[in-house]
Structure 1
Amino acid sequence: MAYSFFRRTRHPIVICWTRAFSSQPTKQVVRRPPSQARPRGGKKEPKSQRRTAQHLEEEWKDAFPQAKPYDQATMQLPIRMGRPEIAGALAPRADGNPELIKIPNFFHLTPSHIEKHCNALKLLMTPFPPNKLNDDDRILRIHTREYVTPTSSSSHPGARKVKLQVYLKDLCLNARARQKLILLAGRRYNQRADELTLVSDRCPTRKQNQDYLFYLLTVLLHEANKCEVWEEEEKQLHV
């Protein structure tokens, strides 16, 4: 690299030439033809998306093996979501649509994928106890519900609700105790099905509601089997 400078003195101008040498080799600039020139900004050419290069023989569980956010490069479905910019027009397309990333999806739970998981879980399954298969031995039937929500809190007000059902024929009551229990139960007794239904959701947890229903059924059976003095007197009056 060579350069020059001027030095001004009393005498006429003296021009000094200085040359600096570099130990690094000079870099050769290779000019490409216009047909092979890269675009400005150093951007690479976009790769082909998976949905356009996916083979028909490829299984969907290989492309979407587990739960994950929506991927526009994997989906082959013409999905649209969001509010259209013009009234009456179609919703925005899936390409670059942030609305599809905000919500959970179940695209990985296809019938073939569920069957694959079930076959893998069969190796860990054990036979059901034979003494539990007989429905005649189940006097009390308890019904609860499980709720799956996409929110950060997994609690749901309806999850603590418990319903207990029992047939009066399974309680081994005599005629007097049966009639007294029906009067105490009121609208909780279904005459057509001969079934008693108790429901509770007053307690904050499911276990507390279940214990309360057991307590309530115990009190009803105790009061139904108990014979008061006034009941004997009223029975003699009707006789």
Structure 2
Amino acid sequence: MLLFSRNLDKLFFRTLEKQLALTYATSTEPQREEEFRVLNLKHVKGQVAPRRPLKKIVPPPPRTQQMAENQDWGNVWPGPRSFHPATVPLPVRQGYVEKGVSPGKFGNAELMKIPNFLHLTPPVIKRQCEALKKFCTPWPKSLDSEEKCERHFPVEVSSSDYCHSSPTIRDPLARIVSVKVKLEALKLDARARDKFLRLVGDRYDEESDTVTIVADRCPLKKQNYDYAMYLITAVYHESWNVEPWEELKSEADMEYYIWENNASKVNVEKIFGKEAKDIPQIEVYSSAVDKYMNEGESDHTVEQYGQAVRKILNLPSLGA
């Protein structure tokens, strides 16, 4: 038993020595570092990469070939947008070539440059008008003629809106506002009317008896409208304003000739022996004298004056 125990101890120590010797040899051996991969440029050109199989992409047919004839165009093109050839079922052409017809709609940049109104078809316009009717009031039955409209609404406001392809929707010309007013509707007397016409200058049209004010100095349309109405209001009140020096004006200081305030009226009343309002054809005569004195001597004014004198004296005309 004692001999077996000694042999076991010897075997244990020998095994332990072998393990220690192996551990020491492993720890003292230099470690090999991993080497970098070698870049080989010689045989790269010869290498051929495997080709991937090409997938043939079949484009779907245009939308125009799938549209129904009774479709609702308002749903296809609901609002303003750029031209799309696959959506418009029309053979649209745009452009110029020296020989042949104009280019078609596919791949045509000219059709994309200009704005279009394809969304404003008659059915869509009718639908929009029906939707807007609930916000409108019926037209007054009494305004059945242009004369009545001008009499009850003497102010006419004109402006313009523009639709174009631009980074901004605000066109510089859209701010311009034109306001027209019938001078007869202002109810001015002779003195106020004369002062009003002198203030507005060449903005008054004698044939249509209309004063036109054009405002464009403000950036917005609403501001120009307010400014134009302010100008008309200011000129109207200034026309009724009487300065102290205006009361001192005599007949020699008048800017134009007035038949009722001159000696011609007195002489006519002496000749006929009655007041001017009771003399036949006195209005024609007074009007001819006013034009002759204010507009100057011309063939037209002299001829009118001669005819008026013959009428008031009951003489036959020259052509009779």
Would the alpha carbon gap of residues 77 and 162 (structure 1) be closer, same or farther in structure 2, given more than 3 Å must change? Answer: same
Shift of 1:165: 1.7
**Take 1:126 and 1:208, find their aligned partners in 2: how far apart are those partners?**
25
Give the match for residue 22 of structure 1: none
SS, match of residue 90 in structure 1: coil
Q: State the number of aligned residues.
A: 197
Shift of 1:210: 2.9
**Take 2:222 and 2:68, find their aligned partners in 1: how far apart are those partners?**
52
Give the match for residue 203 of structure 2: 188
- Answer with 141-150 or 41-50: which moved more: 41-50
Shift of 1:151: 0.6
SS, match of residue 165 in structure 1: strand
Give the match for residue 117 of structure 1: 128
Unaligned runs of 5+ in 2: 1-52, 254-261, 263-320
**Take 2:87 and 2:202, find their aligned partners in 1: how far apart are those partners?**
56
Would the alpha carbon gap of residues 149 and 177 (structure 1) be closer, same or farther in structure 2, given more than 3 Å must change? Answer: same
CA-to-aligned-CA distance 1:27-61 (integer Å, 9 cap, x gap): xxxxxxxxxxxxx7222444433333444344544
Instruction: Tell me which amino acid in the other structure corresponds to 1:117.
Output: Q
Equivalent in 68, 73, 76 of residue 86 of structure 2: 73
Give the match for residue 148 of structure 1: 163
Asked which structure has the greater CA Rg, the reply is 2
Say if 2:64 is the partner of 1:51.
yes
CA contact (8 A) 2:94 2:104 kept: yes
Give the match for residue 89 of structure 1: 100
**Take 2:115 and 2:252, find their aligned partners in 1: how far apart are those partners?**
70
SS, match of residue 227 in structure 1: coil
SS, match of residue 119 in structure 1: helix
Give the match for residue 127 of structure 1: 137
Shift of 1:74: 3.0
Instruction: Tell me which amino acid in the other structure corresponds to 1:193.
Output: S
CA-to-aligned-CA distance 1:100-155 (integer Å, 9 cap, x gap): 34544322321122223333444x4342596xx78444343332222223211122
Q: Which structure is higher in RCO with an 8 Å CA cutoff and minimum separation 6?
A: 1
Give the match for residue 256 of structure 2: none
RMSD of aligned residue pairs (Cα, Å): 3.3
Higher strand fraction: Structure 1 or Structure 2? Answer: 1
**Take 1:219 and 1:57, find their aligned partners in 2: how far apart are those partners?**
59
**Take 2:74 and 2:231, find their aligned partners in 1: how far apart are those partners?**
50
TM-score with structure 1 setting the length: 0.65
CA contact (8 A) 2:115 2:164 kept: no
Unaligned runs of 5+ in 1: 1-39
**Take 1:219 and 1:69, find their aligned partners in 2: how far apart are those partners?**
47
Instruction: Tell me which amino acid in the other structure corresponds to 1:184.
Output: L
SS, match of residue 199 in structure 1: strand
- Identity score, percent: 36
Give the match for residue 227 of structure 2: 212
**Take 2:132 and 2:224, find their aligned partners in 1: how far apart are those partners?**
33
**Take 1:221 and 1:45, find their aligned partners in 2: how far apart are those partners?**
75
Instruction: Tell me which amino acid in the other structure corresponds to 1:107.
Output: L
Runs of 4+ in 1 over 6 A off after TM superposition: none
**Take 2:252 and 2:235, find their aligned partners in 1: how far apart are those partners?**
26
TM-score with structure 2 setting the length: 0.51
**Take 2:161 and 2:196, find their aligned partners in 1: how far apart are those partners?**
32
CA contact (8 A) 2:179 2:214 kept: yes
Give the match for residue 190 of structure 2: 175
